[in-house]
Amino acid sequence: DVKVTQSSRYLVKRTGEKVFLECVQDMDHENMFWYRQDPGLGLRLIYFSYDVKMKEKGDIPEGYSVSREKKERFSLILESASTNQTSMYLCASSPGLDGYGYTFGSGTRLTVV
Amino acid sequence: GIQVEQSPPDLILQEGANSTLRCNFSDSVNNLQWFHQNPWGQLINLFYIPSGTKQNGRLSATTVATERYSLLYISSSQTTDSGVYFCAVERTGNTPLVFGKGTRLSVIA
């Protein structure tokens, strides 16, 4: 089975800190995604990547950046964490082929205080 | 962009009951997936179903692409079925999934 691993299950950070959320997949998938999930708002796309060193903005990229230096790893960076970035962050990967869907990691629940 | 609407937003069932969750989408899609999010937050892929019908145990799904909706059926519900069910669609090949807001299911013993 495809495995998508997010480095932390829970994180607590202070306002203004630089925060790195790491995501690694082990099935050579081309595509990787970062979503955030908030009550009543569902999942919203932050950034995605279809290839190494490639990145595209999603629906809510403000306050975030990403890095994809290797195919298997997609990092989400909060340059200066703010309390409104307290959320559940979910990473996903997909092969980008018809018939194959997304696989999600277990999520990182980030609290910014 | 494409709109995805799920109904009902909340559902409470007695154990053993059956249920139908609905997902309407506003445009033709290349991909449609149903996910279950368990109480710990993990999203589990249930079905990849851009059209047709699939079954997996007590769960089945049907997508009628020409009428732009999909249905998820849960039969003989169990308490472990509790959680949030999401429908997500991909508008064209290789564009990111767009999620509905989910249906929160609570199955009580």
Residue A81: count other Cβ atoms within 10 Å of its Cβ. Answer: 21
d(CA B23, CA B65): 11
DSSP state of A98: T
| Kind plus residue range of the DSSP H or E element containing A93 | strand A87-94
State the greatest distance between any 2 C-alpha atoms of chain B, in Å, as a whole number: 42
Q: Which residues contact B94 (CB under 8 A, 6 or more apart)?
A: A31, A50, A96
- Binning pLDDT at 50, 70 and 90, where does residue A53 land? confident
B48 touches chain A (CB under 8 A): yes
Dihedral angle over CA of A23, A19, A11, A106, nearest 10: -20
| Structural contact between residues B93 and B30, judged by C-beta atoms closer than 8 angstroms | yes
Work out the average pLDDT over B6-27: 97
d(CA B52, CA A68): 36
d(CA A89, CA A77): 11
Reply yes or no on whether the pLDDT at A11 is more than 90: yes
What φ, ψ does residue B81 adopt, rounded to 5°? -80, -10
Nearest CA in chain A to B84: A42
Give chain B's end-to-end CA distance (angstroms, integer).
41
CA distance B96 to chain A (A): 8
Say what percent of chain A tops pLDDT 90: 81
- Binning pLDDT at 50, 70 and 90, where does residue A99 land? confident
B38 touches chain A (CB under 8 A): no
Among A5, A43, A100, the residue to mutate for chain B (most B Cβ within 10 A): A43
Q: Please judge whether A96 and B94 are an interchain contact, meaning their C-beta atoms are less than 8 angstroms apart.
A: yes
What φ, ψ does residue B67 adopt, rounded to 5°? -105, 5
Among A27, A37, A38, the residue to mutate for chain B (most B Cβ within 10 A): A37
pLDDT, averaged across chain A: 93
A102 touches chain B (CB under 8 A): yes
Nearest CA in chain B to A30: B94
Structure tokens at A95: 């092969």
d(CA B17, CA B84): 17
Nearest CA in chain A to B48: A101
pLDDT for A25-49, tens place per residue?
998 999 999 999 998 888 999 999 9
pLDDT, averaged across chain B: 94
Q: What one-character-per-residue DSSP string does A15-55 give?
A: TT--EEE-EEESS--SEEEEEEEETTTEEEEEEEESSTT--
Nearest CA in chain A to B103: A42
Confidence at residue B80, expressed as pLDDT on a 0 to 100 scale: 94
